[in-house]
Amino acid sequence: MTTVAKRLLIGSATIFALALAACGDGSTASTSPSSSGSAATAGQPVNNVTADATVVAQTGNSFSPQNVTVKVGQVVEWKNNDSIAHTVTFNGQDAISTSLLNPGQTWEVKFTTAGTYNYICSFHQPNMAGTVTVTA
């Protein structure tokens, strides 16, 4: 790799890191499952399942609706209708968090434990946040 290419790569990485840092205040999402469950058993990703609730990531860096309520065993789908990538990130819930949700993609999670689960877009926090309430 040439010196110029290395400098461009380092410069690009630095600009990306600064831009990402400017998007949020460093806060993280939290999960608060009911006393009968643990954060490790909130749910599981599923594919091609009819969703019981749909949350849309939309232009303006927001989720709509911001809060949804489902019953244990039901599925929530996140759909990215924006022109930029987002994430659905649950604190301590890597199994049900997305690493990246590109425009047009969907992410479905079947919730198996009652509780309240807060999530964010890790790129656009704290403004882009939501809550899934799972009831028995």
- As a whole number, the mean pLDDT across the chain is 78
Q: Tens of pLDDT along 61-82? A: 999 999 999 999 999 999 999 9
Q: Is residue 4 part of a domain?
A: no
Rounded percentage of the chain residues whose pLDDT exceeds 70: 70
Given a cut of 80, is residue 14 above it in pLDDT? no
Say if residues 13 and 100 touch (Cβ distance below 8 Å): no
Q: Is residue 42 part of a domain?
A: yes
Whether the CA torsion 105, 116, 97, 90 is positive or negative: it is positive
Q: Is residue 127 part of a domain?
A: yes
**Residue corresponding to tokens 């840092």:** 21
CATH number of the domain to which 77 belongs: 2.60.40.420
Owning domain of residue 94: 25-135
Q: Is residue 9 part of a domain?
A: no
Given a cut of 60, is residue 47 above it in pLDDT? yes
For the chain, how many structural domains are there in total? 1
Q: Is residue 10 part of a domain?
A: no
The set of residues, in sequence order, having a beta carbon less than 8 Å from that of 112 and lying 6+ positions away, is 41, 42, 43, 44, 72, 73
Residue 48's pLDDT is 84
Given a cut of 50, is residue 36 above it in pLDDT? no
